[in-house]
Structure 1
Amino acid sequence: MKTTIGISAENREVVAHQLAKLLADEFVLYTKTLRAHWNLEGPDFHSVHLYFEELYKQAADRADDVAERIRQLGHYAPASLKNFLQLTHLTEQDTAGTDSLNLIRVLLQDHESIIEFIRGTIDEFQTAHKDAGTSDFVTDLLEKHEKTAWMLRAHLK
C-alpha cells in the first residue's frame, strides 16, 4: 500500500536510509552492551552488571523504535547481522577486557559516536527532507544517548 504522509517518496527513501544506519548503530551497541553485561568481572560486578542490564534493555527499545520509524516511512528495516555490520558506524570489539572501566569506556565511545551521527541528521531531516516527525524523533534519541553518555562518563571520574 502506498505511504501518503506528506513527505515525497524520494525524501522518505533518503531518511529511511539514514535511519537504517542509525538502526545498525543501535543494534551493534545493544550487542556490545550485552557483551559487557555477560563478561563483566571485578569488585563492582553486581552493581555494574545490573546497570549494564538496564542499558541493554534501553538499547533494545531504541532499536525497535528506529525500526518502527523506518516502517512508518513506508520502508523495510534492515534485519540481518550482515546488513547491520555493513551499515554501522561502530566497530565490533572483542578486546575490551572484562573490568567495568574498560567496558564503560567502549560503551561511552559508541554512545558519543551515535550522538554525533544523530546531531548531523536533525536539521537535514527537517530542512532538506521536510520530515519534522523524524527530526523530532531523532532529537529525542539524541537526548537519551546524551544522558547515558553523561552517566557513563561519571563512572570514569
Structure 2
Amino acid sequence: MDIGITDKDRAKITDALSHMLADSYILYLKTHNFHWNVTGPMFQTLHVMFMTQYTELWNALDLIAERIRALGHTAPGSYKRYVELSTIQEEDGVPSAHDMIRQLVAGQEAVARTARAAFKVADAADDQPTADLLTQRMEIHEKNAWMLRVLLEDGAASPAKPAKKGKK
C-alpha cells in the first residue's frame, strides 16, 4: 500500500481509530438501551433524543470502521474487543432518567476526548481524511454533550426542588 502514509503511521492511526470505534460502539449500545428503558415525566423528550443520538452513532460506526479498512488494517468487530478498547463503562442496570443523562454526557465527552487524541495521531501523520472524520466526530459529540448537559442544569430530569422562600 502506497498512499503517502508510512506503515508505522497507518498502524498508529488505526490503533487510535480502533479506540474511537470501541468508544462509539459502547456509547451507541448504552444510548439505545436508555432509549428502550427511559421512564418518567421526560419520557417522550428523552426517548426521541436518545433515538436521534443512537442512530447518528450507528451510522458513524461504519465510517470509522471503513477508514480503518482504507488504511489497510482490520477493524475490531467483537463486543469483547470493544470492551477492552473502550474508556466508557457498560451499564447493565436501568438507572433513573437523570442518571441516564449524566452517563450519556460522560460518554459523549469521553468519545470527544478519544477523537481529539486520535486527531493528534492522524494530524502528525498528515492524514487529512482521518483528521476530517475525527473533526466531525468531535463536533457532534461536543454538541450532544451540551444538549444533554442542559437537561441536567435546569433540573428537567430530576425531582422538583422546593422553591426558596424570599425575605419579607
TM-score (norm 2): 0.86
Q: Distance in 1 between matches of 2:99 and 2:120?
A: 34
Q: In the alignment, what sits opposite 2:139?
A: 143
What are the superposed Cα offsets for residues 33-85 of structure 1, whole Å, 9 maximum, x if unpaired? Answer: 01101111112212211111111101101111111111111111111111111
Amino acid at match of 2:103: V
Q: Distance in 2 between matches of 1:137 and 1:52?
A: 22
| Offset, 1:96 | 5.3
| Offset, 1:100 | 2.2
Larger radius of gyration: 2
Picking from 111, 118, 122, the partner of 1:114 is 111
Q: In the alignment, what sits opposite 1:125?
A: 122
Q: Distance in 2 between matches of 1:54 and 1:104?
A: 14
Amino acid at match of 1:146: E
| Offset, 1:5 | 1.4
Q: Distance in 2 between matches of 1:120 and 1:21?
A: 10
Please identify runs of 4+ aligned residues in structure 1 that moved more than 6 A.
Answer: none
What are the superposed Cα offsets for residues 75-108 of structure 1, whole Å, 9 maximum, x if unpaired? Answer: 11111111111111111122451x3221111000
Q: Distance in 2 between matches of 1:156 and 1:34?
A: 20
Picking from 25, 37, 40, the partner of 1:39 is 37
Partners of 1:7 and 1:130 within 8 A in 2 = yes
Aligned to 2:69, the other structure's residue is in SS state helix
Partners of 2:17 and 2:118 within 8 A in 1 = no
Structure 2: gaps (5+ residues): 154-168
Partners of 1:11 and 1:130 within 8 A in 2 = no
Q: List aligned pairs for 1:1-150, cutoff 5 A.
A: 3-95=1-93, 97=95, 99-127=96-124, 129-150=125-146
Superposed CA RMSD in Å reads 1.3
Amino acid at match of 1:102: D
Structure 1: gaps (5+ residues): none
What are the superposed Cα offsets for residues 113-134 of structure 1, whole Å, 9 maximum, x if unpaired? Answer: 111222223233212x232221
TM-score (norm 1): 0.91
Q: Distance in 2 between matches of 1:114 and 1:69?
A: 17
What are the superposed Cα offsets for residues 6-58 of structure 1, whole Å, 9 maximum, x if unpaired? Answer: 11111111101110111000000000001101111112212211111111101
